[in-house]
Structures are given as C-alpha cells and as structure tokens.
Chains A and B, each alone.
Chain A
Amino acid sequence: MRRTTAVSAIAVAATLLAAGCGVGSKSSTADATKTVATTAALSGSITFQTWSLKNDKFTPYFTKLIADFKAAHPGTDINWIDQPGDGYPTKVTSQVATGSLPDVVNLPPDIAHAVAKTGNLLDLKKNVPTLQTDWVKSGLNAYNYQDIDGGATFFGFPWYLGTDVSYWNKAMMAKDGLDATKPPKTFDELVAQAKVMHDNSGGKDYLMSRAPGLSDIANTGTKLLSADGTKFAFNTDAAEAMLDKYTQAYKAGYLPSNVLDNSYEGNYKLFTKQEVAWTTGGGNAITSMQKDNPSLVPNMVPSPALDTAPLYVQGISVSSKSKNLALALAFAEFVTNNQNQVDFLKLAPGFLPGTTASANDPQYSKSDGTPQGDASVIAYKDMQTAVNFTPPIWTDAMNTILNQEIAKAMTGKETAKQALDNTVNQANGLLTQ
C-alpha cells in the first residue's frame, strides 16, 4: 500500500512537471498583426480603461467625449472604467493573464511593451494609414519595439506628452547667495551651485537631493544600448565620470545623507518641505504645489530641465483580442484625435498633445504671465528636444540593480566603473533569462 502510494505520488508529480513545462500564457502575435475591417457601420459595445482619471476634474470631459462618440455612431456603447493610480502594472498583468484586457486601454510605453510581447495589442501601423502623419514621431516611437517584429509595428496612439521642468526655491537660494533667475543649466553647474549653497549655509541647505538614475547616464551622451539594440552598453567613461562626480558631491555633503536609504522621501517632497531648493516636476507642478504648500508657490521659479529633458508618453492602445475591433479602433482614434487631445489638455496645463497638428501650435508657446504659464511654455519648449531615455527592455528588476549599484558606488563600496559594469552585466543577464 505504502509502495503504491509512493509510486502514485511520483506519477502525479511527473505528470504535473510535464504539464508545467508549458505553463503560463503563450505568446502569439497572430492577433496583433491582423487587419481590421473598418468599412461597415459601427455597432455594439466596448470597454475603455483609463488610469486614475475618473475624478471631479476629468470625469465631465470623458462623459462628454463618450456621449459625442455615441452621437456620431448611433447603436454603439462605451463602458468606461478607471483604475486607481497604484498597482496599475499589476492590474494590467492580471487582465492579460485572465483574458480580460479592456478593448481600448490607456497604457504607458513600458507596460504596453510587456503586453505587446504577449500578442495582446493590435498593430496600429497596419490598420491606421495616417498613423505616422497625424501623431508625433517621438510619441509613436515610444510604442515601437525592436524586439517585437523587428520594430515594424506600433502599439499605441500618443495621447499626451510630458517632460520635466526644473523648479527653484528663490528665497532659499537668495539666502545662500544664489540667484534663482540664473539657475544651473548643466549637471556640472548644478554641482558648483550646490557647493555654494552648502558652504554658505554651513551644510544645512541643499540644492541637490537625489541619486542619479538611467536618465542621468543618458544625459552624459552615453548610448544605453549597443548598436544593434539587443544589449545594454552604458558602462562608458562618460557615465563613470558622472557617477564619480555624484559620489564626490555626496561625500562632500552636498546631498542629504539619506538620499540612498529608505527614509528618503523624494526630491519633490523635500522641496515642498523647503528642505531642498531644487526639484524636477511636470509642467503642472506649480498647480500641484497650490494644494501641497501654497505658501511656497510665490517662491517657485521654473527653468528648463538640465541638459536634455526626458520625454514621458501616455498612449491609447487597442486589445488585439477585442471582440469588436472595428469599434475599439475607431474609438481609440477618436479619443486621440487632435481636437479631443487639445480639449483634454486644457484641463492639464504643462502637457502637450501627441498629435502633429498641435506640436507646433503657437498657443502652447505663449505664457499668460503667471509662473504656471511660464512653466507650461518651458515644458512645451523642452518637449521639442525631449528624449524618451528608458529603453522598453529596461525592467523594474534592472532598475533595482542600478539603484543598488549606484548606492554602492556613492558609499565607496565599489568604484563607479565596477558599479556600472556590474549593472550592465546583470541587466544583460536578465535579458537572456
């Protein structure tokens, strides 16, 4: 009896093992590259998912947007759902795993990349002839992945674009002998002014307040990927020099001592508390500050981002598994057409539509004279040259490794070269796993 039980257990385990060899959802790009018939009249219903946009500010806009679409296409229905800000990647992952990804879905490029790899997003290039003329190239490129179909496909309509603007606390800077109207323009100038602030305040005030990241490496002129785009190769001399400068600044006390540990609250929070005099933020940071610390707003001076500004893209994708692809595609185009994006961004100053018709619209280059208006214009100008630094193959796990290695370098446990070499080697190792 005992022997029989043992044999049965082994047999069951072996069966499960064999079955497990193919566990997990299978990747299939067949659905992604299909052509959608758009000639017939639209009908039926679809689900549209946004990310943290159902609130007093945006709900009226989306209600009208859906009503307008339904009026133009009688017999259609749009079920709008919104997901909370936290845990969105996990939510989308579970939606893909359970086959319940909404027909039209708001996805940033990194999440879209993971979903597109599973064949769950529709290739828009094949189905939208005007894709590359109506939507801006920088936005579209964020949804074009070299590791999927050799980069021949596009998986998102650029919806709204953002970038970083620098904000300076003019009162703190004036107290320490600095002029907020002449802020640093490069990383080297930043370190120089951080030294002045440190020395003049006896080490109590800070200008710099964050450890470097991937964008700082890219801003040294370093190409993050190898020429063929398949491996990371950012362990360059320029990146090493930048990390060395950060390490020296940290050791000299130009940054708060806790920027590397878990009590670090982030540079925006420290700026809000007036513990540091510089932060980066979106083009709408002054509007946000009205809620967080209104007394600080008069002291906020915006300026262009240091070196090259980063480009942040939000997009609208279509699920390739949608049962009503024609309606889903039509609605995604409608949401992201120029007029609807312009109307949407009237509610979100500091961002720019992802359409070519608006890219050079003079209305975005004129300030109303307020600091928020100035910041919006700076954001608009920055976005003309902004770059989406983060390659789509860069994952959370890789970012954790980078942060760990940078911390080791800044605390003297490794040299900058060792830290960058280790990061590149480990990140490349993850690509093959």
Chain B
Amino acid sequence: MRSHRFYTPWLLMLPALVWLALFSVWPAINTVTLSFTNVHQLTGGHFIGLKNYWLLWNDPHIRDAMINTVVFMVVCVPLLTLLPLLLALLVQRQIPGIAFFRTAFYFPVIASAVTVALIWKWLLDDRGLINNLAQSMGFIHKTIPFLTDRWLLLLSAVALTVWKGLGYYMLLYMSALGSVRRDLHEAAAVDGAGTVRRFWSVTVPGVRGTMLLVSVLIAVNAMRVFSELYILGGRTGGVGGQDVSIVMLVQQAASGSDGRLGYASAISVFLFFLTAVPLLFLTRLNKNAQEES
C-alpha cells in the first residue's frame, strides 16, 4: 500500500483554507489594522495609534448601544433557548396535520427582510393593527408607542427576533430530541416522575449539548443585532438614536462616501471582545455542569 505524501491532506484542505484566509482571517487582521488608522472610504489615512479607541470611549452613543445590545442579548438568550425546545417537544409528536404546524413555525425563518419589515411596522405603528384593535375594543385610549418608546421598541425587536428564530432552533432541537433515549422517559415515569419532572431530569440533560450550541449562536447573533432594530427603528436607531446597537454604530460610521473605516473598525474590535465575554461564560457554565454530572 502506497503511503500518502505529506502534502496530500493540505491539498485537500486548500480550497477551504484559501476561502478561510481570504474571507475570515484577512478581514479580521485588516479590521484590527484599520482600527489604528484614520482611513476613510475614499481618502485613505494614516496610523493614529489608539485615537479611535479614545474616540469610542467618548462617543455619546456607545453607552446606549452597549446597554441596548446587552439587554437584547440577555432577553433573547433564555427565550430562544427554551421556547424552541418546548415547540420541538410539541411538534415532534406524530399526529395528523403536524407537518402543517412544523412548516408554519419555520415559515418566518425564510421570510424576506423586506416582508418582515412591512409586516411588523404595519403591526406596531401608531395606526397599526395592534393599536387599532386595542383601541376599537376599548382596552386603551392612547396608542402604545411601540416604535417611539426606547424600551418598547427594544422589546418589539426581541419579539421579532424570537418570532423569526423559533423555527430554526426548533429544527435543531427536533434533531437532538431524537437521540434522547425513550427508555429513560419510561423508567422515570415508572418511578413516578410527572411531565415537568421528566422534562428537567431527562429531556434537558439529553439535549444539553444542543442547548449550549443554541445559546452560543443566539448570544453571538444577539451581540451583532442590526436588522431587527434597523427594521423597526430606522437608520437613526429609533427616535433620537436611543435604540442604536453596536453594529448600527459600525454601519453609521462606515457608510457614505465619507465613511470612517478606521473608527468603524475600532468599534468592530471592541464588539469582538464584548462578544467573547458571554461566550466564555456560557462555555464555562457548560463545563461546570458537565463536571457536576
């Protein structure tokens, strides 16, 4: 049997490595590099040391952006970790017509951003469906300012994210639930465990790996929240920019023919480190749980 040449595995990996280098490694290094310059879209620039980070520290919008981003993540992670699991438990049963519900729950995932924007703005507008309905039924006399109040807009963005993400994470859980042993459920039932007890003691430990994966994915996506807030709050990030997120600051800094690429890169680097914190926390949490069990 002929032995493989040493470079054979590298050749096989080459396309993926080139792709990774071009579209992940190089942009990442370039972002860090740019963050120490005052490069603009068209006019170039030069090395300015840590000035962009100093500007970021003094940016009047960074505090709001950090609060919004972290609140968004803290609310989204538990909701999108647990709700899809419950949904998956509901739709994994083999009953007539269940395929319709699975499709219906997955539908928001494939809906286009434009459609989602139109639907949600129409729902939440001062003269939108929810306000009109609530007023006509006499529940409220004054419209609910979903799109103008800072926290209501943020919660509306959370609702939009949960609605749009439920189906995707439900699919991940459905696949994980298939590997939870049925005999464990039966044994627990024989021991007198009810539905809730079996959920926490059998189902949850059985899908813990998937739960960690889902929570990490949600945390990373939540830290990069942009489109949901842009859809509801517009390019200014809500009324007066009070619902701006960190990625929106990146977009605002870099856009236009006078876009500040250096400053936008500094915000991106800051976001990278900010994202690493919850990731490390979740990984640590899982490690501890595994050691305890």
What residues of chain A have their CB less than 8 Å away from a CB belonging to chain B? 13, 16-17, 19-27, 89, 92-93, 96-97, 110-111, 114-115, 117-118, 257-258, 260-263, 395-397, 400-401, 403-405, 407-408, 411, 413, 422, 426, 430, 433
In the complex, the answer to whether B126 meets A258 with C-beta atoms within 8 Å is yes
Asked if B198 is an interface residue, CB under 8 A from chain A, the answer is: no
In the complex, the answer to whether B256 meets A260 with C-beta atoms within 8 Å is no
Nearest-neighbor residue (CB-CB) of B265 within chain A:
A20
Residues of B within 8 A of A422 (CB): 60
In the complex, the answer to whether B236 meets A97 with C-beta atoms within 8 Å is no
18 chain-A/chain-B pairs, Cβ below 8 angstroms? A13-B29, A21-B36, A23-B45, A24-B43, A24-B45, A25-B44, A111-B257, A118-B43, A258-B125, A258-B126, A261-B234, A262-B121, A262-B147, A263-B147, A396-B255, A400-B236, A433-B38, A433-B260
In the complex, the answer to whether A404 meets B240 with C-beta atoms within 8 Å is yes
In the complex, the answer to whether A261 meets B238 with C-beta atoms within 8 Å is yes
Nearest CB of B to A229, in Å: 17
In the complex, the answer to whether B43 meets A27 with C-beta atoms within 8 Å is yes
In the complex, the answer to whether A20 meets B33 with C-beta atoms within 8 Å is yes
Asked if B209 is an interface residue, CB under 8 A from chain A, the answer is: no
Select B261's contact among A16, A24, A408, beta carbons within 8 Å. Answer: A24
Q: How many A-B residue pairs have CB under 8 A?
A: 133
In the complex, the answer to whether B257 meets A26 with C-beta atoms within 8 Å is no
In the complex, the answer to whether A408 meets B43 with C-beta atoms within 8 Å is no
Nearest-neighbor residue (CB-CB) of B257 within chain A:
A114
In the complex, the answer to whether B256 meets A397 with C-beta atoms within 8 Å is yes
Asked if B47 is an interface residue, CB under 8 A from chain A, the answer is: yes
Nearest-neighbor residue (CB-CB) of B33 within chain A:
A20
Contact (A23, B121) CB under 8 Å given A263-B126, A397-B258, A433-B263: no
In the complex, the answer to whether B236 meets A22 with C-beta atoms within 8 Å is no
Residues of B within 8 A of A413 (CB): 240
In the complex, the answer to whether B233 meets A396 with C-beta atoms within 8 Å is no
Given A24-B44, A117-B42, A397-B260; 20 other pairs, CB 8 A cutoff? A20-B30, A21-B37, A22-B44, A23-B44, A24-B45, A25-B43, A89-B256, A92-B257, A93-B257, A114-B42, A115-B257, A118-B43, A257-B143, A258-B126, A262-B232, A263-B121, A397-B253, A397-B259, A407-B236, A433-B263
Residues of A within 8 A of B29 (CB): 13, 16
Residues of A within 8 A of B259 (CB): 397
Contact (A411, B148) CB under 8 Å given A20-B30, A24-B261: yes
Most buried by A among B36, B126, B237, B239: B239
The secondary structure that dominates the A interface is: helix
Nearest-neighbor residue (CB-CB) of B46 within chain A:
A21
In the complex, the answer to whether A400 meets B240 with C-beta atoms within 8 Å is no
In the complex, the answer to whether B240 meets A17 with C-beta atoms within 8 Å is no
In the complex, the answer to whether A23 meets B39 with C-beta atoms within 8 Å is yes
In the complex, the answer to whether A262 meets B233 with C-beta atoms within 8 Å is yes
Asked if B241 is an interface residue, CB under 8 A from chain A, the answer is: yes
In the complex, the answer to whether B258 meets A258 with C-beta atoms within 8 Å is no
Residues of A within 8 A of B208 (CB): none
In the complex, the answer to whether A20 meets B37 with C-beta atoms within 8 Å is yes
Nearest CB of B to A398, in Å: 9
Select B44's contact among A26, A93, A397, beta carbons within 8 Å. Answer: A26
In the complex, the answer to whether A407 meets B34 with C-beta atoms within 8 Å is no
Residues of B within 8 A of A23 (CB): 30, 33-34, 37, 39, 44-45
Q: How far is the CA of A160 from the CA of B40 in the complex (A)?
A: 30
In the complex, the answer to whether A403 meets B147 with C-beta atoms within 8 Å is no
Q: How far is the CA of A17 from the CA of B161 in the complex (A)?
A: 38
Nearest-neighbor residue (CB-CB) of A394 within chain B:
B258
Contacting A at CB under 8 A, from B231-271, are: 231-241, 252-253, 255-261, 263
Residues of A within 8 A of B239 (CB): 260-261, 407-408, 411
Residues of B within 8 A of A401 (CB): 241
Asked if B128 is an interface residue, CB under 8 A from chain A, the answer is: yes
Nearest CB of A to B33, in Å: 3
Q: What mask results when residues 57 to 92 of chain B are scored 1 for a CB within 8 Å of chain A, else 0?
A: 000100000000000000000000000000000000
Asked if B55 is an interface residue, CB under 8 A from chain A, the answer is: yes
Asked if B283 is an interface residue, CB under 8 A from chain A, the answer is: no
Nearest-neighbor residue (CB-CB) of A261 within chain B:
B147
Residues of B within 8 A of A258 (CB): 125-127, 147-148
Residues of B within 8 A of A96 (CB): 42
In the complex, the answer to whether B241 meets A404 with C-beta atoms within 8 Å is yes
Residues of B within 8 A of A117 (CB): 42-43
Nearest-neighbor residue (CB-CB) of B263 within chain A:
A433
Residues of A within 8 A of B143 (CB): 257
Residues of A within 8 A of B256 (CB): 89, 395-397
Residues of A within 8 A of B24 (CB): none
Residues of A within 8 A of B148 (CB): 257-258, 260-261, 411
Residues of B within 8 A of A89 (CB): 256-257
Asked if B195 is an interface residue, CB under 8 A from chain A, the answer is: no
Nearest CB of A to B142, in Å: 10
Asked if B201 is an interface residue, CB under 8 A from chain A, the answer is: no
Nearest CB of A to B292, in Å: 32
Nearest CB of A to B272, in Å: 15
Asked if B41 is an interface residue, CB under 8 A from chain A, the answer is: yes
Nearest-neighbor residue (CB-CB) of A411 within chain B:
B239
Nearest CB of B to A44, in Å: 27
Contacting A at CB under 8 A, from B182-203, are: none
Select B126's contact among A115, A257, A426, beta carbons within 8 Å. Answer: A257
Most buried by B among A96, A97, A396, A422: A396
Q: How far is the CA of A273 from the CA of B241 in the complex (A)?
A: 28
Residues of A within 8 A of B260 (CB): 397, 430, 433
Residues of B within 8 A of A97 (CB): 41-42
Residues of A within 8 A of B127 (CB): 258
Nearest-neighbor residue (CB-CB) of A118 within chain B:
B42
